[in-house]
Amino acid sequence: MLGGWSTKVGAVRAATRSSYLVVARQKAFVTSSRTVVPLWNVCSTFVTTSSSRAPAFTPPTPSASSSSSSTVQSSTTTSTPPSTSFSGSSSIANNSNNKNNHNVGRTTNVRNKQLPKVPNTLPYLAAFVAAAIASWGGFTIYATNKEKLSSSIFKSVVGQVKNSIEVQQLLSRPSSSSSSSSNAIGGVVVPILKRETWLGGMCRVKGSVNMMQGRVDLCFKITLPDQLGNKNSKQNVATVYFTSIRAHKHSPFEILRFVVVHDSTGESISLLEKGGLSTIDVDSGDIV
């Protein structure tokens, strides 16, 4: 009798342990699916699982006195409430089916429209770069030319050219209006610097003036003034060339070339030989 009851107690313990595992799994499933499950479904599943997994128990043959109690106990043990299936997964499936059915009759309008053409900015970029380079080049030419015009050596060379009688005779002719003009000295026209319109009325001076490196190289044009009534003043243009260098820092400058060449006739005059000029004064910048 005691052995039968111990076997029964062990079976009940095993069924209870397995039912706890089933309930834990169902709780995890309910939490992951975020679906509210009725408490009666969980309880009924617990009871059904425990009763189905419990091993079959065959009690010993009872006596006549205990037959009624064993019958009542067996009927109590085997009586189970009506089992119902778990409705969590079915509710999720029903929701997904409802969504699919809701999207069945919907139509999607697709419009094929061409993308707008991107404008070609390469010509504008090229024009901007060209304008920037041209502006920078013009500014550089203007600044360097202005610097050479304001140098003391250039002013000294221009003074020597204007005061030279040979240069005046090379460019000018006797004029009847020479007495009424301030640019005429003794019937000979004094030349002036040829002005360039694209430089804002300044004379274009080529070459370089670098006293620190010991090199001076100038080239500019002279012409007759238009106020004297000379119709051929544009043709009477001459070019002045002046070059001077020094061997080292402490040596004096040596004038190598000081020539005036008429552009139309090609006739030239050397002021270096006729003027007796030989060097440049570094302090004042005058030709001596």
Q: Which of 245, 231, 239 has its CA nearest to residue 282? A: 245
> H or E stretch including 262?
strand 254-262
Alpha-carbon separation of residue 122 from 115, 117, 135, 228 (angstroms) = 20, 15, 20, 54
More confident residue, 254 or 8: 254
Percent of residues, the chain, with pLDDT higher than 90: 30
108 within some domain: no
Lowest mean pLDDT among 38-47, 70-79, 236-245, 246-255: 70-79
> Is 145 in the same domain as 57?
no
Average pLDDT over residues 230-246: 80
Average pLDDT over residues 153-172: 90
- In the chain, the number of structural domains is 2
**Which domain-ending residue is among 50, 83, 116?**
83
Q: What is the pLDDT of residue 78?
A: 43
Average pLDDT over residues 138-150: 93
Domain of residue 163 covers 126-275
244 within some domain: yes
pLDDT higher than threshold 60 for residue 182: no
111 within some domain: no
> Is 167 in the same domain as 52?
no
More confident residue, 188 or 239: 239
More confident residue, 17 or 207: 207
Task: Report pLDDT digits (tens) over 189-210.
Answer: 788 999 998 888 899 999 999 9
pLDDT-derived band at 83 (thresholds 50, 70, 90) equals very low
119 within some domain: no
Distance CA 66, CA 78 (A): 18
> Is 150 in the same domain as 70?
no
Q: What is the pLDDT of residue 115?
A: 85
Task: Report pLDDT digits (tens) over 240-261.
Answer: 999 999 988 888 999 999 999 9
